[in-house]
Amino acid sequence: MGDHYGFSLTTFSPSGKLMQIEYALNAVKNGQPSVGLKASDGVVLATENPSSPLYEEQAKIEKISKHIGCVYSGMGPDARLLVKRARKIAITYEDMYGEEISTTQLVTRLAAVMQEYTQSGGVRPFGVSLLIAGWDAEPGKPLLFQCDPSGAYFAWKATALGKNDTNAKTFLEKRFSETLELDDGVHTALLTLRECFDVGMTEDNVEVAVCNASGFHRLTKQQVKDHLGAL
Amino acid sequence: SFQMARRYDSRTTIFSPEGRLYQVEYAMEAISHAGTCLGILASDGIVIAAEKKNVHKLLDDSVLAEKIYRLSDNISCTVAGITADANILINHLRLSAAQYKLAYGESMPVEQLVQDLCNQKQRYTQVGGKRPFGVSLLYAGWDRHYGYQLYQSDPSGNYTGWKATCIGNNHSAAVALLKQEYKSPSLAEAKTLAMKVLSKTLDVKLAPEKVEMSVLVHRDGKTFLEELSHTEVSDLIKEQEDREKEAEAAAAHK
């Protein structure tokens, strides 16, 4: 890593800021919008994923382990690397301890990787923020985390990343309630995402996934279409 | 001169011509904007209080602590600075303390743990070209050698023992106030003093959601880190506000 560069590329400015991290956060801010929402019985992730008649369909929301998945805002290729690393972390844990990794453990380990890239020699921070959704079997609860380019992580009830995230979060503050169930959660998440859309939202340019006791899985095009119809 | 600084300030482990380590200084600048944390040694325990900066209606704060962490059965800490860097150091500290316990069959003495981490932090200022950690820590613990102890460390790897101290936003005002008011307090008096100091350092209005407060006590052969309940924090805040009103009224009558 860092091709034998011995020194940090991310260093403190006179005002005490780590500018490379601030710039990475800009890459996130300018990225396609994504939303995460924790319902009482599961977690929803949703994101804009534009399509074209010339593209082959490519998913943005990825599964990390049976009960954990994630979505990002920012640089897609950077996200790909982190997803690969997250999967490795999850499977190594399972191999060693004989049980699925808990969401918190995965998040803290992945965040430590992101922190490494703000301090190690010759590397730049990741240009993504991740929303990680998970279901912990014991004691049977849903979890939603955000991982930032700095390596900091936050546990959210509901949040948004990418373009228009401030508007989305204000919208969520009004609409979110702790008693929402998964279906209503999907509904609220889609309404929030629509606030960030410049164009019309259809089942061809939005991607949705849910995580609950039965695992993490993406909704099919038809399921998304049905939810959109109900908006 | 400032222009000269630019040539040397990103080379993390070399001296500038005036003999300064700019990256270390800049890191400390970062910490002076972080949420305040303070520690006060009392006769029968240690009070640790911190300002929570990440307060948002949608944040799920039942999941993770923000400021105060348990490191081992007899030592805890609070951090100010870059959260991600702090997480790395907290992991190191927990690992060190656990390895000591495994090797020697007894709890790691507080100063040894602090020194161990500070030696690591110092390495980053001298070897390897990596930037230093942007974190200052306050360590509160009890051991059979020195009883209750409070230490502070910063990005340079320097550490000192304190009776009462403060790091983060407005820490100089806080330390000045502590210097005036610290008079070998009991735990109850220390809690009151902590709240008095916090009300001065916080840029916003004091509220229970904005404060994380714990006490470290050693009794019956064990050390406990007890977080103050929402009610207790509210009561302390109310007492502080009453005191301030009284002081304003007294001043107005003069």
Test mutation, A4, A9, A11, chain B, max B CBs within 10 A: A11
Q: Which of B22, B58, B132 sits opposite A172 (nearest CB)?
A: B58
Check if B87 contacts A (Cβ < 8 Å): yes
Q: Are B195 and B177 in contact (CB under 8 A)?
A: no
Query: For all residues of chain B together, what is the average pLDDT?
Result: 92
**Mean pLDDT score, B14-27:** 87
Model confidence at B9, pLDDT cuts 50, 70, 90, reads low
pLDDT at B180: 95
For residue B187, pLDDT over 50 is answered with yes
- 3-state DSSP of chain A: CHHHCCCECCCECCCCCEHHHHHHHHHHHCCCCEEEEEECCEEEEEEECCCCCCCCCCCCCEEEECCEEEEEEECHHHHHHHHHHHHHHHHHHHHHHCCCCCHHHHHHHHHHHHHHCCCCECCCCCCEEEEEEEEECCCCEEEEEEECCCCCEEEECEEEECCCHHHHHHHHHHHCCCCCCHHHHHHHHHHHHHHHCCCCCCCCCEEEEEEECCEEEECCHHHHHHHHHCC
Residues of A in contact with B11 (CB under 8 A): 7
Q: What is the pTM of this model?
A: 0.85
Look at A11 and B31 and tell me if their CB atoms are within 8 Å: no
Q: A42-57: b or e for each residue (b if 16 or more CB lie within 10 Å)?
A: bbbbbbbbeeeeeeee
pLDDT at B4: 54
How far does B249 lie from chain A, in Å, by closest CA? 40
What are the distances in angstroms from CA A59 to CA A133, A207, A211, A218? 16, 8, 16, 9
Residue B179: what are its φ and ψ, rounded to 5°? Answer: -60, -40
pLDDT at B54: 83
Q: Determine the straight-line distance between the first and last CA of chain A, rounded to whole angstroms.
A: 47
Model confidence at B204, pLDDT cuts 50, 70, 90, reads confident
Nearest CA in chain B to A16: B30
Low-confidence ranges of chain A (pLDDT < 50): none
β-pairing, A206-212 vs A68-74, is unpaired
For residue B10, pLDDT over 70 is answered with no
Which residues contact residue A211 at a Cβ distance below 8 angstroms, ignoring those fewer than 6 apart?
A: A42, A43, A45, A67, A68, A69, A133, A134, A135, A142, A217
DSSP state, residue B182? -
pLDDT at B7: 61
For residue B1, pLDDT over 50 is answered with no
Taken in order A221, A222, A225, A230, is the CA torsion positive or negative? negative
**Mean pLDDT score, B98-105:** 98
Q: A79-95: b or e for each residue (b if 16 or more CB lie within 10 Å)?
A: beebbeebbebbeebee
Check if B39 contacts A (Cβ < 8 Å): no
Look at B30 and A150 and tell me if their CB atoms are within 8 Å: no
Per residue in B122-153, pLDDT tens? 988 888 788 999 999 999 999 999 999 999 99
Look at A155 and B23 and tell me if their CB atoms are within 8 Å: no
Q: Are A146 and A153 in contact (CB under 8 A)?
A: yes
What are the distances in angstroms from CA B233 to CA A205, A229, B208? 48, 48, 6
pLDDT at B6: 59
